[in-house]
Amino acid sequence: MFEITQGNVSLVHKNDRLEKHGEADVLACDLNFQWETDNGALAMFAPDLRSLLYKKQDSQGELIDDPQHLTALRFPALAPLKWTTGDLIGAKLLFHVGVSDKSNVLLDDVKVGKYRIEAKEGGTVVISFQAQCKPDEKQSGKLSRFLTDKLCTITLEPPPAPADLTDGSNGSD
Burial classification of residue 55, based on how many CB atoms lie within 10 Å of its CB (0-12 exposed, 13-18 middle, 19 or more buried) = middle
What is the pLDDT at residue 99? 76
pLDDT tens-place string over residues 101-147? 888 999 999 999 999 999 999 999 999 999 999 999 899 988 988 88
Nearest to 78 by CA among 128, 119, 45, 36: 119
Nearest to 131 by CA among 45, 14, 19, 21: 14
Q: Say whether pLDDT at 48 is over 60.
A: yes
**67 vs 104, which has greater pLDDT?**
104
The residue extents of the domains of the chain are: 4-59+68-146
What is the pLDDT at residue 90? 97
Q: What's the rounded Cα separation, in Å, for the pair 147 and 128?
A: 15
Signed CA dihedral, 79, 83, 84, 90: sign only: negative
**57 vs 5, which has greater pLDDT?**
5
pTM for the model stands at 0.86
Nearest to 94 by CA among 80, 104, 83: 104
Beta bridge partners of residue 26, listed in sequence order: 19
Q: Say whether pLDDT at 148 is over 90.
A: no
The values of phi and psi at residue 51, to 5°, are: -70, -20
Q: What's the rounded Cα separation, in Å, for the pair 146 and 150?
A: 6
What is the pLDDT at residue 165? 45
